[in-house]
Structure 1
Amino acid sequence: MQLLEYISFLLLSSVKFFFFYPVFITKEDYNFLEAMTFGLTAGFIGSSTFIFFGDVMYQFFHRLALKKAITHPPKEKKQRSIKHRRLIVKLRDDYGLWGIAFLAPILITIPLACILATRFYHNKGKILGHFMIAIAFWSALIYIFKSSLIHLIS
């Protein structure tokens, strides 16, 4: 049963890194090397899946949205979607691929950030490299924060 739990947390961490990674490394009381290995593995699974297969998923959902628009024409454009688009364009223009990669594990989900990055940038190897560096950074920072917090408590 422990293997199933490990795989579950690995897959959940590959999608919602900031929520599930700290829980699992705290629960299992991982040392730094184990925590980094787990974080990088989860990040690699999530990033590579959504970078290399995100185009297929994007096209699928885009077709679904087109079909929905044909059968149910939109009544009025929402102001909220314009604000989100502006935020995404500002993020891309101000911070580039590094900004998207570094915000992915903590603010944006890895799948959404990967699909977003492949919309703006086309070198998938470069995108994966940026995401892995960002995930390594966040894995180390979360581990250090968790260890410091545990030392303060005990």
Structure 2
Amino acid sequence: MEYVLIFLLSTVKFAMTFPIAVFAKGLTPPMVYLITSLGGVSGATFFVYVWGQLVKFLRRKDMVPFRQRKPVFSKRSRRLAYIKSKYGFWGLVILTPVLFSIPLGALILAAYYPNKRRIVKCLAITIACWSLIMVVVLFTFREWLMQFF
């Protein structure tokens, strides 16, 4: 049951899953890597395709805030434009698992970039890399980090 909960949590809040898996559940490093990687990739795949279909539907109905009409300069639109222009595709893909949540990153990527297969492949690679980094760091400094929990 704990494996399923960690899997489901990693589909949504990828970076927050590691402390729970390592400190609260006491799983082994290979299991943490496998469960969080599979959960993150599953969540990325699901959300990229769901958000992609939702954006496509809303564009047809002319209800989507991602359309290319007159510019609207709200705080949100400025932030999205800043992130997209400053970091680009690869910046969003690399930052999505740890800085943004997977659903939010998938929404931004699906709205601005049309190639869903490329998005999912790149997210899968970065999720696997981040998972490896997090597992190595958390298990290397486990004893030192235990004093904070």
* TM more than 0.5: yes
5+ residue gaps, structure 1: 67-80
1:1-154 → structure 2 map (5 Å cutoff): 2=1, 5-58=2-55, 82-152=74-144
Question: Could you list the runs of 4 or more consecutive aligned residues of structure 1 that deviate by over 6 angstroms after TM superposition?
Answer: 59-62
**Bigger Rg, structure 1 or 2:** 1
Which whole-Å deviations, capped at 9, do the CAs of 1:32-63 have from their partners, x for residues lacking one? 3322211210111110001111134446789x
Residue number in structure 2 paired with 1:69: none
User: Tell me, what secondary structure is at the counterpart of 2:126?
Assistant: helix
Counterpart AA for 1:85: S
Q: Which moved more, 1:119-128 or 1:53-62?
A: 53-62
5+ residue gaps, structure 2: 64-72
RMSD, aligned CA: 2.8
Q: Determine the C-alpha separation between the residues in 1 that align with 2:31 and 2:100.
A: 25
User: Tell me, what secondary structure is at the counterpart of 1:53?
Assistant: helix
Q: Determine the C-alpha separation between the residues in 2 that align with 1:126 and 1:9.
A: 26
Q: Tell me by how many angstroms 1:136 deviates.
A: 1.4
* Higher normalized helix content (fraction of residues): 1
Q: Tell me by how many angstroms 1:94 deviates.
A: 2.2
TM-score by length of 1: 0.74
Q: Tell me by how many angstroms 1:90 deviates.
A: 1.9
TM-score by length of 2: 0.76
